[in-house]
Amino acid sequence: MKIRIVGCHGGVAPGYRTSCYMINDSFLIDAGSAASALAPEKQALIEDIFITHAHIDHIKDICFLVENTFYESRAVINLRSPKETLESIHKFIFNDVIWPDFSKIYVDKDHKKALIKFVPLEQDFKFNELSIKHVRVNHPGCAVGYVIDDGKKQIVFSGDTGPTDELWKEANKCKNLKAVFTEISFPNYMDGLARASGHFTIDQLLKDLEKLENKDIPIYIAHFKPRFFEELMDEYHRLAPQRMHLLHQEDEFDFK
């Protein structure tokens, strides 16, 4: 399973791109930086975006990806997430006020191909020879994480979350879990804000990881808030165990 880190930060500042992962060169988990970071040819190939939740840092580049790539032969872009999340994105972003309602704009004369389609996720969804399960996590707005299984191995993406249970239960069911991609957003002294906003500090994450039975699984960290980057790095270097790895934009993984 190939994973390219298009963007992995929890905010926007020069040089910091927000959450966007490309899986197997074919689909995205979140699209916070899909239009600003991917080459136009790559953008044109994207047909499916799995969205963890409707926060702007995870969805904003859908607006520009659609604009950058629409033409008649282009496939429809399927936005995939639980129904509540898609309804929020439709109502508050693609509402013909904030941005055009691309689900009502067609590229063909027969009006069969809209620019985007909202496709609510079913559980254990089969997709491109993968099984994709979504799991509610502890973050506002019906946020989910994903467990992606290619039949031989599994990868867990938490999306944005604070301390949570269900995701770790699902991770413990995996027979050959290769990696967990999760987040740290705030430094330890901001424990209260992290809890209130549904994010991890490093201490909270280390405590939550006690729920993951296999202690050898690599844990990849994203979503540092740019404003606290120096403090977060300092804490990370002091406290992160060996199996923890900080993600960087343009990192690429091929889990075998």
Tell me which residues touch Zn ion (CB under 5 A).
55, 57, 160
We find the least distance from the C-beta atom of residue 8 to Zn ion, in angstroms, to be 10
Residue number closest to Zn ion, CB atom: 55
Given the complex with Zn ion, which of 69 and 185 has the nearer CB atom? 185
Given the complex with Zn ion, which of 143 and 219 has the nearer CB atom? 143
DSSP single-letter state for residue 54: -
Residue 169 CB contacts under 8 Å (≥ 6 apart), including other chains = 211
We find the least distance from the C-beta atom of residue 223 to Zn ion, in angstroms, to be 6
Amino acid in the structure at residue 57: D
Exposed/middle/buried for residue 53 (C-beta within 10 Å: 0-12, 13-18, 19+): buried
We find the least distance from the C-beta atom of residue 58 to Zn ion, in angstroms, to be 5
Given the complex with Zn ion, which of 33 and 154 has the nearer CB atom? 33
We find the least distance from the C-beta atom of residue 17 to Zn ion, in angstroms, to be 12
Given the complex with Zn ion, which of 48 and 57 has the nearer CB atom? 57
We find the least distance from the C-beta atom of residue 221 to Zn ion, in angstroms, to be 13
In the chain, beta strands by DSSP E = 2-7, 20-23, 27-29, 48-50, 77-81, 116-120, 125-127, 130-136, 144-149, 154-157, 177-183, 219-222, 244-246, 252-254
Sheet holding 48-50: strands in order across? Answer: 116-120, 77-81, 48-50, 27-29, 20-23, 2-7, 252-254
Given the complex with Zn ion, which of 100 and 226 has the nearer CB atom? 226
